[in-house]
Amino acid sequence: MESWVSMPKVELHAHLNGSIRDSTLLELARGLGEKGAIVFSEVEQVILKRDRSLKEVFRLFDLIHILTTDQSTVTRITKEVVEDFASENVVYLELRTTPKNNDSIGMTKHSYMEAVIKGLRAVTTVDVDFGCHEMESDASDVCIGSPRKKIYIRLLLSIDRRESTASAMETVKLAMEMKELGVVGIDLSGHPLVGEWITFLPALQFAREQGLSITVHCGE
């Protein structure tokens, strides 16, 4: 195992919400349980279960979406996820996430992604490159070369199959705005039994026309 961990690796399919530490999920769930928002004992079993069916996987994702709804949590899990991949000697990471609106706390898709970028900048255990050659001067601390280990990160913005055409188009336009911050493509993901492919075709065609790469989850 030590030799496998030490080997430099490329990770091309990492979901931000699918890579959260169990300890962090349990901590967040315990906090909501104390507030009476969820029943912690039931949620704990969902988090700790192994050998999940596809149905159980999406049940876990539904829970994660409940637990990760504010900017500070998004920033925290981004930082932890990058540090965990770096600790396993991943040198190139494509990290995909679905920008979310949460009107109750004033979170927009744009502020969600700002929280992700803040998490990338907060990483201290490794140097992070996420498009530094095109970044503003205020991010120079991320770009300065050093003898420390480095991880290259590129972002994919995901369209959830529960979204509308308009919402999908909003995600594509956001990806275009954030190209200089390492956004390289669009992902279509979510529960494969939800939604219709044709709903997202205009947004994906627009993304292709704008030079964004596309990756599609299909029939999992």
Q: Which domain holds residue 39?
A: 21-67
Burial 183-213 (b: 16+ CB within 10 A, else e): bbbbbbbbbeeebeeebbeebbebbeeeebe
Give the span between the Cα atoms of 16 and 65, in whole angstroms.
Answer: 11
Residues 16, 34, single domain; the answer is: no
87 torsion bin: left (phi>0), alpha (psi -120 to 50), beta (else): alpha
pTM for this structure?
0.88
**Which among 27, 88, 180, 220 is annotated as catalytic?**
220
Residues 31, 115, single domain; the answer is: no
Please give the C-alpha separations between residue 219 and each of 65, 106, 190, 194, 198, in angstroms, as whole numbers: 22, 34, 11, 11, 15
Residue 4: what are its φ and ψ, rounded to 5°? Answer: -65, -40
How many domains are there within the chain?
2
Residues 115, 132, single domain; the answer is: yes
CATH of the domain at 180: 3.20.20.140
Give the span between the Cα atoms of 51 and 57, in whole angstroms.
Answer: 9
| Residue 220 designated active-site | yes
Per-residue pLDDT of the chain (220 residues; tens, 9 = 90+): 888 888 999 999 999 999 999 999 999 999 988 988 888 888 898 898 888 887 888 888 888 888 888 999 999 999 999 999 999 999 999 999 999 988 888 899 999 999 999 999 999 999 999 975 443 444 444 444 456 789 999 999 999 999 999 999 999 999 999 999 999 999 999 888 889 989 999 999 999 999 999 999 876 5
